Structure 1
Amino acid sequence: MKTIAGAPWLIRLLPFLRWSSRVDRRTLRFDLIAGLTGGIVLVPQGVAFATIAGMPPEYGLYAAMVPAIVAALWGSSWHLVSGPTTAISIVIFATISPLAAAGSAEYVRLVLTLTFLVGVIQLALGVLRLGTLVNFVSHTVVIGFTAGAAVLIAISQVKNFFGLPIPRGASVLEVMTGLVTQLDRINPFITGVAVITVLASVATKRWLPRLPHMISAMLAGSLAALVLNLVFGGEARTGITSIGALSVGLPPFSMPDFSPGTLEQLIPIAVAVALLALTEAVSIARAIAVKAEQRIDGNQEFIGQGLSNLIGSFFSGYASSGSFNRTGLNYASGARTPLAAVFSAVFLLLIVLFLAPLAKYLPIAAMAGILFVVAWGLIDFHHMAEIVRASRQEAAVLLATLIATLTLQLEFAIYIGVLLSLMLYLNRTSKPGLEDVKPFPGQWPPAFSAATGLPDCPRLKMVRINGSIFFGAVNHLQEALQQIDERNPAHRHLLLVGSGINFIDLAGAHMLVHEARRRRALGGGLYLFHMKDEPLQTLRRSGAYDQIGAENFFSLGDDVVNAIYQRLDTPA
């Protein structure tokens, strides 16, 4: 923008100035329509997410107001809509419910403190420009974690879906055992309302895709509950209860607990929630940005998400992140700028101010049905099958993350998935491939391939290293290079094609020097061809270049094969 081009510090402080020039009467119209659509959908979603998180229902709506506005204005995505999400909600319930009774004042206080810490961590990561950290939470880990979280959501609602007396906080095995052993105690009225809600959601998505399926399902469940209560004598006979009227207005001011004991207790959980939330938000922003032909600034998204949680914790908003459903809806509804997310929060406030009393007609069984639908939609069967087909190692990470999510505290499940992913990555990179290659006959400049069909030279072995030579790979490469002349003692001369080497550290440089000396002692030599600039500079700075010998390095365009052949009868 020309008006602020001379003040880059102002753009960093107020990043919404970057896209303010895109706003005009046309974009405002599109953004208002998208915002209204999003605001309507947010009502049932906010209540559902708060229920998952163990928070009073209105807190799910508060989390979609101030935090959504801050994230939109201080993020970098034009379409990302932030607020409560399923994954974050289930993590909050699983990690905070052992510390306090869900829905209690103490529970709310702990959740708001957790939200503040999450915001501080995210903001710090953004300011320090550590946006690449989310790359360590692999797509496989997210899919496994989300699938496990989906099962936990469904498990947490079994008692409300079937009307069974299952204790709060029961494990997956305990809930399933309780269900099987109490089949004769299932309440048919409650289960009927829940099943009707599920069927209405599925039918709306299938035959009336333009309608919001969650709202349609809630209306169907509420109507079914009303009819059953009228026909069979009311709540005392059917057991169908409602969530009660929502007392929702402007988000009330709240104060996190800054006592040292509470902060120390919540910091490990906050780190896991912060990483998961950032992974969610940045992944969704990038996915939509591809369609919108927009470039996402990961560090700015960190800052936007951090500020939204930090500020949101003082306005009764619990930990939020980017929502895939609402972001996709925002984009599909024609949103042009982040103002659509701002309008969505404003419309949500207006809607709940006038419609909140109607929540007293919403049955708990209908909410359980909605959460069953949400849980089913979270399990990405397509990508899970793709992972299993493509890689056994990735399938192991998926399974381990899924099992850890179901059996351990959720923050540890994320850590386990990340740790396994890193271990597999290090295992792969510590074993760079050593590929037999030969020169293409008559091609200039010389090119080497494993597909020439030529036999090995009796005196000279030619191989290409596909991977970096660093401390973790040194032992593997030393063994592989020694096996060459052990298998064929005539192969004292070795040509390394370096086009596949991206990085060499000091340990790698020492290994190459050692190999060059070893081969000279055998009466042969080590030669390197087509090294990239970065690893070549490392060899020069470390002194390895001179120790190997400048005459043993060949660049692209050199007649490397003929030059080496002339030395075969002369010890290198």
Structure 2
Amino acid sequence: MKNNNLLRLAFPFIDDIKNYSLSKFSHDIQAAATVALIALPQAMAYALIAGVSPQYGIYAVIVGSVVGALFGFYRYTHTGPVNTSSIVVAATMAPFLQDGNYWGLFFLLGFLAGFFQFFAALLRLGNLAQFISRSVILGFTTGAGLLIAVNQLPNAIGIPKESAANFMQRLNQIILHIDSADLYHIAVALGTIVLILLIQRYSFKSESGLPYLPAHLIAVLVMAFLVYYLGWTDKGIELVGKIDASLPPLSLPEFSWSAIYQMSSGGIALALIMTAEIVASTRSNAAISGDKTNLNRELYGQGLAKMVVSFFSGMPVSASFTRTLLNYRAGAQTRFASAISGFVILMLILLFSDPVAQIPLASLAGMIILIAVRMINWKAIIITLRITPSDALAFIGTFLATLLLPLDTAIFIGVATSLIMFLRRVQYPRVIELCYDEKTDTFDELPADSENNNDIVIVHLEGDMFFGGADFLEEEMMKIAKRKHVKAIILRLKRAVLIDATSIMAMMQFASYMKHHGKILLVSGMTDEEARLFERSGLEELVGKENLFYSGSHIFGSTKKALKRARELLTEHNKTAEDGSISQRSSG
């Protein structure tokens, strides 16, 4: 039984094969054809963003869509080249353009990104990606959109494209050469953009809202025909060029230690941004389709896809948000729809490589610029800038870092910013004073600036009680304990989580203070796990087992018991004090 479960985890498509039917295949092949017609021009365009021939994007989508579909979790995920990570690939590989082993390093980059994701999946670290702030991701994608658009402007307007370290250098180059812009290139790029917009606007749509016509593919093929018919190749319009009508050829990443050292930083950065893409794609699309998600198992499939693609001459791949959504809306029933789309693209290349070779680079540049502009989500930007100063700062900082710094550095800055934001928000647990109203039998929260005169104080602890907030926790509790009228404190742990050794030691110091000053400490809302921590640390003995109250089925039930116990102890204490006073007067 255990072996069967492991087999299903390693080869998740087995169950789909068992339950497959002709009806499902019919839906899958229709969806596959729809997705393939969009994926082919996108793969070529994203290869240009990555700074390589469109051929490498085609190989990547053929192999990546098959492997990602078979080994991933979410059944609609479509794997192939994507826009954001393509610009990271270009930036990472830029210093190695003159390296004699460029292609070995190029394929190694994709392999390492896949390996890191695969390893994270095995260690079940996938959910850590949720700690990357939306503000940071928005800042990076906005900056990446601008970078992609500006990097494609030389191809779109027909000026020389020189190497540039960042956005400002590229912009400066464009301004210096703008007087040599070519009208034929501009016409092709603008014509492509206008055609795409017109087809998407006026094409007949299916019941699910999908245009029947693949706008991107039609636009670039129409421009290819016009350039050929008008003879604009003689005017300097460059074409995609020869596309090999063959299966993806084998390739070998450079696995030397020096190469791995050189590419590891870029590989980690690429894995991080691609993981963020996977989170965005699967969670957003799953919310629409109603399917479950499992990020670790999705990372397993995506990591495998990257590693396999690197041995078949493909650029790094990831989960595509737009093609995944398209796959669902086109009627896909199983994971095999994405896999079939890879074979459809292969057939298109085998049969129609000559027409594809005639596509103008300026046309692809126009398509890329339109895609890049659409990456900028103005509505989300406005919301982010308005909500909180920290979110606005995270967005602006990551955005500027993306434009001005190496992209791997920008990604690391973004991740670090996310972690700092997270730690700031969870660093301090909430310390809330409660008072009990006997008339209504309710517990009310006291205002933060108020100070009640009750001899029994109920302190509700809420939030993360890890080491980062231990000092703050102790300080706040000591402020309450030092009030002259306070004789007993009840700590309510019902909403406290992540109690660690540092927090336990802080509570022990507090318990010792209370005991030393003749004050009573009780704890309510305890779980079995917290009870084990108290016992192992000696805190149970310090507080007294009889003063610990476990959480039950009734809200505030354990706190009421603790309150009753505190009153009994204070009554005994007061009675003992009175007896002692009487005894002293009698003896006197």
What's the TM-score once normalised by structure 1's chain length? 0.90
Is the 8 Å Cα contact of residues 501 and 531 (structure 1) preserved in structure 2? no
Comparing 424-433 and 491-500, the one that deviates more: 491-500
Structure-2 residue corresponding to 1:365: 362
**Which secondary structure does the structure 2 equivalent of 1:247 belong to?**
coil
Structure-2 residue corresponding to 1:128: 123
Is the 8 Å Cα contact of residues 68 and 82 (structure 1) preserved in structure 2? yes
2:58 aligned residue (61, 70, 76)? 61
**Which secondary structure does the structure 1 equivalent of 2:95 belong to?**
coil
Give yes or no for the alignment of 1:168 onto 2:170: no
1:469 aligned residue (465, 470, 493)? 465
1:349: how far off?
0.6
Structure-1 residue corresponding to 2:217: 215
Is the 8 Å Cα contact of residues 547 and 562 (structure 2) preserved in structure 1? no
Structure-2 residue corresponding to 1:178: 173
1:349 aligned residue (342, 346, 353)? 346
* Cα 1:23–1:456 shift into 2, 3 Å: same
Is the 8 Å Cα contact of residues 197 and 218 (structure 1) preserved in structure 2? yes
**How many angstroms apart in 1 are the aligned matches of 2:163 and 2:502?**
55
**How many angstroms apart in 2 are the aligned matches of 1:502 and 1:482?**
21
**How many angstroms apart in 2 are the aligned matches of 1:407 and 1:242?**
31
1:297-336 maps to which residues of 2 (within 5 A)? 297-336=294-333
Q: Deviations over 1:53-106 (max 9, x none)?
A: 1111111010011222111111122111111111221111001111115xx974
1:226: how far off?
4.9
Comparing 254-263 and 119-128, the one that deviates more: 119-128
Structure-1 residue corresponding to 2:563: 561
Q: Percent identity?
A: 29
Structure-1 residue corresponding to 2:201: 206
Structure-1 residue corresponding to 2:432: 435
Give yes or no for the alignment of 1:99 onto 2:96: yes
* Cα 1:265–1:439 shift into 2, 3 Å: same
Structure-2 residue corresponding to 1:393: 390
Is the 8 Å Cα contact of residues 523 and 562 (structure 2) preserved in structure 1? no
Comparing 364-373 and 212-221, the one that deviates more: 212-221
1:552 aligned residue (547, 555, 580)? 547
* Number of residue equivalences: 560
1:550: how far off?
2.4
**How many angstroms apart in 2 are the aligned matches of 1:84 and 1:69?**
13
Q: Which amino acid aligns with 2:191?
A: I
Q: Which amino acid aligns with 1:176?
A: L
Is the 8 Å Cα contact of residues 73 and 338 (structure 1) preserved in structure 2? yes
Structure-2 residue corresponding to 1:16: 13
Is the 8 Å Cα contact of residues 436 and 463 (structure 1) preserved in structure 2? yes
Q: Which amino acid aligns with 2:417?
A: L
1:442: how far off?
4.0
**How many angstroms apart in 2 are the aligned matches of 1:543 and 1:197?**
73
* Cα 1:105–1:282 shift into 2, 3 Å: farther
Comparing 200-209 and 82-91, the one that deviates more: 200-209
**How many angstroms apart in 1 are the aligned matches of 2:253 and 2:3?**
39
Is the 8 Å Cα contact of residues 43 and 348 (structure 1) preserved in structure 2? yes
> Which blocks of at least 5 consecutive residues in structure 2 are unaligned?
206-210, 551-556, 577-588
Is the 8 Å Cα contact of residues 438 and 454 (structure 1) preserved in structure 2? no
Comparing 89-98 and 501-510, the one that deviates more: 501-510
Structure-1 residue corresponding to 2:208: none
Q: Deviations over 1:266-289 (max 9, x none)?
A: 122112212322332244223333
Structure-2 residue corresponding to 1:478: 474
1:241-256 maps to which residues of 2 (within 5 A)? 241-256=238-253
1:414-453 maps to which residues of 2 (within 5 A)? 414-442=411-439, 447-450=443-446
1:360: how far off?
3.8
Comparing 23-32 and 526-535, the one that deviates more: 526-535
Q: Deviations over 1:313-362 (max 9, x none)?
A: 11111211111111111000010111101110011011111222113432
**How many angstroms apart in 2 are the aligned matches of 1:46 and 1:20?**
28
Comparing 540-549 and 476-485, the one that deviates more: 476-485
**How many angstroms apart in 2 are the aligned matches of 1:390 and 1:401?**
17
1:537: how far off?
2.6
Q: Deviations over 1:138-184 (max 9, x none)?
A: 33332222222111111211212222335222531122233344443
2:501 aligned residue (488, 500, 506)? 506
Structure-2 residue corresponding to 1:540: 535
